[in-house]
A and B are shown apart, each in its own frame.
Chain A
Amino acid sequence: MNDTRLQALRNEHWRQARNLTAGLLLLWVATVFGAVFFARELSGMTLFGWPLSFYLAAQGALLVFLAIIGGYAWRMRVLDQRYRDQV
């Protein structure tokens, strides 16, 4: 009984961790692909003087990467703390 409950909790933790990972990876793919694939279309627009596509590839996407990793570390800490005592 206790074992199955433990297993269920672990599964639940893993499910949430996996969903978080999948969501952030999706954001990551969208950032890279969007910035590169549509670079020619985006280069007409400007942001603080930069052509938007240049800004994204040289700075914007990189900051998104940093935010993804920061967000992941923060959310996983919360998640781990919630489940730590129970598993």
Chain B
Amino acid sequence: MKRTFFQRLSRYYLLFTGGFGCFLLALAMLEKEGMPRVWIGYLFMLATITLYAFIGLVSRTSNVAEYYVAGRRVPALFNGMATAADWISAASFISLAGTLYLHGFDGLAYILGWTGGYCLVALLIAPYLRKFSQYTIPDFLAARYGGPHHGRIVRMMAVAATIIVSFTYVVAQIYAVGLIASRFTGVDFSVGIFLGLASILVCSFLGGMRAITWTQVAQYIIILIAFLMPAIWLSAKHGGNPVPQVAYGKLLPQLSAREHALQHDPKEQEVRRLYQQRAAGYAAKVEGLPGTWDAGRFDAQRQLDAVKQRNGTLLEIRQAEKTLLAYPKTVEEAAEAWEAARRYYEQRALPPVPHAEPFAASSAQASDIKRNNFLALVFCLMVGTAALPHILMRAYTTPSVHETRVSVFWTLFFVLLIYLTIPALAVMVKYDVYTAMVGSKFSQLPTWVSYWANVDRAHPLISIADINRDGIVQLAEIAFDGDVLVLATPEIAGLPYVISGLVAAGGLAAALSTADGLLLAISNALSHDIYYQTVDPHASTQKRVTISKLLLLAVAFIAAYAASTKPADILSLVSAAFSLAGSTLFPALVLGVFWRRATRQGAVAGMAIGFLVCVYYMLHTNPILGGNAAGQWFQIAPVSAGVFGVPAGVLAMVIVSWLTPPPGKDVLALIDHIRTPEA
């Protein structure tokens, strides 16, 4: 029976992949016939969202086990695929390659951290959760640390942690959905958000975990095709080998040689010197405040008057007016703006960082700090991965403990198909830019440059300006935003627009699949753990599922509203969510399985202290949150707060557990049960 279920699934998804291939081919042909670009964007959006809605509709359910854990019958391979889609967020798909492009070796912390965490999931948590066989993460913690009120305190804390962690994350996903939709179809950002919201809802609203699982498998296939196609193309073009993971080994030394040459190129040095001068100019202006502010304002005003007096063209007058309008309104504002400009130009004046060199820095000490931060970040991302509720929730959906272990293997396998390509893609695009674009004429820049430069005028994704006015592009004259790299790769590689649409659809799938999982994690925590377990334990199964669906709807709308306000602060906090998850949930989860002596009081103390230490460190050191970088401990960046939070949580848990009476008989029996092999 299981075998046939597996075979049936395989047939469906093979058919789906074939159908998707035909769809691509058809679009490519239509593009050749002259179909306008924006139509391709529309068609991709429409087709993929209809597909997700269709799967969601087919998988609708009101059965509790189906709704919460997909009936516990998802085969390991498919569970792995679904978890991989759950995992590969908009950040992984869109931003990670760009981060590697910009930071070289130091960006690999994300690659290492976001894959190594699965070792912890597989070895320490997932199989035991499956043996426990309930519905949510708070379920496990409440049973393990149960007390007089069925572990109500522990359950509430776990629910709170789940919601805090998942909510910041889901807002970022919905934000990305809005961004991609608006860029590729030209609709307004907030319309894009609500389009995305609709497609998230059709899938998770009707069928819960069951619908999400089968949609995510389809989404993973789209993510994979979308990510690999341009990479394979580039790899065949530059490496002479269609396997990007192998080919870029050959390119890396060539890239290093090119970097070395560019570092000593006189034209490059000239541009960097010009930046240095601009930075010095702003430094002098800041130095001379408030006098310079007055002088600058007079200057701008005089310029406008002069243009008006000599009857300049309307365009010139507009320009002068704009300059005057943009001029800082107060001395404080001027100080801030000029200081930022100074920092920006100083940054631009730096020579390129060698891509493959670990922890490049001017002094050995600075290099050590970079290394320590790299290690700290890797640690936080790994531990955080092993404590993210929407990933752990998936341990419940397989038919057996063994299948759960195998499913984590498949998860990492499918994640690696993407994650091994990301560093390759970064190197190949960099090679392309360094060899083809640098040194070309400004008059012959490819069209995609101006296209992407104009997408977001406030924060240009690409800016290329002829700083030294020699008509030739220098490396120092190019500024890339990390987010544009993957989206622009098809055009950089010279592929037809249909591939760009495909990549956008892939990014959309990555964001939607992650958002689905996160929303379900939040609404399950609310409906199962708060409503059913705490408020109304006698609720009928029908009522439970209905409540869950309503809560999902509510959470989705709140998240979409939060995303539509474009909260830059929340977005920068997404990586911090890993530190929070790790510090709060990880010690309680792992010690709960591996240490019989861990007590309820210990778990409460551990979760509270871990959370507080983590939050304190972020508030204390993150400038966005009103902290000060000077307060850092051991020069560790605030994003890695978990490096202090996790040990603090473990320590608190151990000490308090020792000081309190050992857990009762029923808890020990539960521990024995989850450790014993399955019958």
A residues in contact (CB < 8 Å) with B: 10, 13-14, 17-18, 21, 24-25, 28, 32-33, 35-37, 39-40, 43, 46-51, 53-55, 57-59, 61-63, 65-66, 68-70, 72-73, 76-77, 79-81, 83-84, 87
Contact = CB atoms under 8 A, between A and B. Distances in A.
Contacts of A10: 672, 675-676
Contacts of A39: 105, 358-359, 371
Of B127, B252, B677, most A-chain CB atoms within 10 Å: B677
B350 interface: no
Contact of B676 (A18, A47, A87): A87
B677 A80 contact: yes
A8 to B, nearest CB: 13
Of B123, B382, B408, B413, most A-chain CB atoms within 10 Å: B123
B676 A24 contact: no
Interface string B398-435: 00011001101100110010011001000000000000
A84 B120 CA distance: 24
A39 B105 CA distance: 10
A49 B374 contact: no
Interface in B212-270: 245-246, 249-250, 252-253
25 contacts: A10-B672, A10-B675, A10-B676, A14-B675, A21-B124, A24-B119, A24-B123, A28-B116, A35-B112, A40-B371, A49-B252, A53-B356, A54-B105, A54-B108, A62-B115, A65-B118, A66-B416, A68-B119, A69-B119, A69-B123, A72-B123, A76-B127, A76-B405, A80-B401, A80-B678
A54 B115 CA distance: 16
Given A10-B675, A69-B122, A77 B115 contact: no
Q: 5 tightest A-B contacts by CB?
A: A39-B358, A80-B677, A73-B405, A49-B249, A58-B423
A48 B249 contact: yes
Contacts of B249: 47-50, 55
B356 A87 contact: no
B181 interface: no
A18 B452 CA distance: 53
Given A51-B252, A76-B127, A84 B105 contact: no
B591 to A, nearest CB: 14
B679 interface: yes
Contacts of A72: 122-123, 405
Interface of chain B: mostly helix, strand, loop or mixed: helix
Contacts of B402: 73, 76-77, 80
A61 B116 contact: yes
Contacts of B401: 80
B678 A32 contact: no
A57 B677 contact: no
A30 B502 CA distance: 40
Contacts of A54: 105, 108, 252, 356, 358
B111 interface: yes
Given A39-B358, A40-B367, A73-B409, A49 B420 contact: no
Contacts of A83: 677
Of A14, A47, A62, A83, most B-chain CB atoms within 10 Å: A62
A59 B423 contact: yes
Contacts of A21: 123-124
Given A13-B677, A39-B371, A49-B249, A69 B423 contact: no
Contacts of B359: 39-40
Contacts of A36: 112, 371, 374-375, 378
